[in-house]
Amino acid sequence: MKKTLLFVYLLVIVAMVVSCAPAAVETAAPTQPPQQNAPTQPPASSGKQLVFATVVKSIAFNWFKRMETGVVQFGKDKNIKSFMEGPSQVDSAQQVQMIEDLIAQNVNAIVNVPYGVPENEPAQKKAIEAGIVVIGHEAATAKAGTLTYDLEAFDNCGYGEEMMKEMATRMGEEGKYIQFVGSLTNASHVEWMDCAKAYAEKNYPKLEYVARYESKEDQTVAYNTMKDVLKTYPDVKGVMGAAAGDVVGAGQAIEEAGLADKTAVVGTSIPSYAGELLKTGAVDLAMCWDPMTAGYAANVVALKVINKEAITDGMDLGVPGYEKIKLAKGPNGVDVIYGSAWIKIDAKNAADYPF
């Protein structure tokens, strides 16, 4: 009797799982079918068409779905067989396996967005030794020789300064401001904010830095912190956010306090997070980079290398945000190409960026 009960109980749980799962698949369905498992055609030797593969951390994110549109568009524009693939969950081991498979297929170029930069290095090196052009993205810390080039949407310092300019303008270039970082150990976040602060000290003497807070990548922490900041420093007029949820949490607190018009909130975020608050004006500006143009530009670099065109400082890749690239050496020796491809999203253009 008791066993039957237990069995029935487990059955109910399974039924719940099954009834939830399809719903989840429906909502998670991409706007266009993912192009994973691209047919393993014979490589370029059999035909004239070049084959470029883009490998990403995981195909399960809207972020990379957006990148895929750039990758596919590049293939159409340049008549190249260009496709994107990646594990269904972020996993370096599976990603490395995919690169190994692509080497075996002898593709012409691989664009890799590594989950773990060091874990992907040996496979990338092997691909280069096999004569394949390998372009990295979000991998500026890679070791020399493991990437032909790395392409970054922007350099961290420039991004932080741009964020400061946007906030300062909205504050009338005077008043107190605070900063949020996801964590004090997040190197990118801290670099954005350090550069923003240094830029303000040089250019906006009337801006006053109050403090930097850690949101622990948690929107609720940003919310609670902002509430207390408003009590402690009631005259704070500017807020900068580094993690995608920072301006959302801070914006909610400011909106609920009825201060949306008096406070400039500018920071990294994406429309699916900050869309509602951009509309109400609680968040003034969300900044990020568009994975679509990054995917496109990385493939352009691969094509230029294959066509034996030199990549030079200040050259135009023909992609928005990458019209005047900057060349530099990464911290571990890889050649890094920087664009200035940040995008600024406000209430008006939020609908143009569906991610």
Q: Which stretch binds another protein (CB under 8 A): 130-138, 141-149, 168-176, 228-236?
A: 228-236
The stretch near another protein (CB under 8 A) out of 147-155, 166-174, 221-229, 330-338 is 221-229
Q: Which is nearer to another protein, 292 or 300 (CB)?
A: 292
- CB-nearer residue toward another protein: 32 or 183: 183
Which residues does 321 contact at the CB level (< 8 Å), separation at least 6?
153, 154, 289, 290, 293, 297, 339, 340, 341, 342, 343
Residue 93 lies near another protein (rule: CB under 8 A): no
Record the tokens describing residue 165, joined without a space.
Answer: 């300019």
Q: Which lies closer to another protein via its Cβ, residue 191 or residue 218?
A: 218
* CB 178, CB 171: distance < 8 Å: no
Q: Between 50 and 278, whose beta carbon lies closer to another protein?
A: 278
User: What's the closest the beta carbon of residue 284 comes to another protein, in angstroms?
Assistant: 17
x/- letters, 70..89, toward another protein (CB under 8 A) = -------------------x
Between CA 135 and CA 183 the distance in angstroms is 29
User: What tokens were used for 49?
Assistant: 């068409």
Out of 73, 92, 94, 224, the residue judged to bind another protein by CB under 8 A: 224
Q: Tokens standing for 8? A: 């029935």
Interface with another protein (CB under 8 A), residue from 230, 315, 327, 347? 230
Q: Measured between alpha carbons, how far is residue 183 from residues 179, 196, 222 in Å?
A: 12, 17, 11
* 130 counts as binding another protein under rule CB under 8 A: no
Q: Compute CA 177 distance to the chain's CA centroid, rounded to the nearest angstrom.
A: 26
Is 76 exposed, middle or buried, given 0-12, 13-18 or 19+ CB atoms closer than 10 A?
Answer: exposed
Contact 279, 347 (CB under 8 A): yes
DSSP codes, 200-257: HHHH-TTEEEEEEEE-TT-HHHHHHHHHHHHHH-TTEEEEEE-STTHHHHHHHHHHHT
Q: Quick check: 6 binds another protein (CB under 8 A)?
A: yes
Region binding another protein by CB under 8 A among candidate stretches 42-50, 77-85, 105-113, 251-259: 251-259
β-strand pairing of 175-181 with 326-329: unpaired
Q: Does 214 engage in binding with another protein (CB under 8 A)? A: yes
Residue 295 found at the interface with another protein (CB under 8 A): no
Instruction: Judge contact between 90 and 115, C-beta under 8 A.
Output: yes
Our finding on whether 218 is near another protein (CB under 8 A) is yes
Which of 1, 26, 46, 185: binder of another protein (CB under 8 A)?
Answer: 26
Q: Which of 13, 131, 185, 348 binds another protein (CB under 8 A)?
A: 13
Per the document, the length of the chain is 355
Out of 1, 24, 31, 33, the only residue in the binding site for another protein (CB under 8 A) is 24
Chain residues binding another protein by CB under 8 A are 6, 9, 12-13, 16-17, 19-21, 23-24, 26-28, 60-62, 89, 184, 211-214, 216, 218-220, 223-225, 227-232, 234-235, 245, 248-249, 252, 254, 256-259, 272-273, 275-276
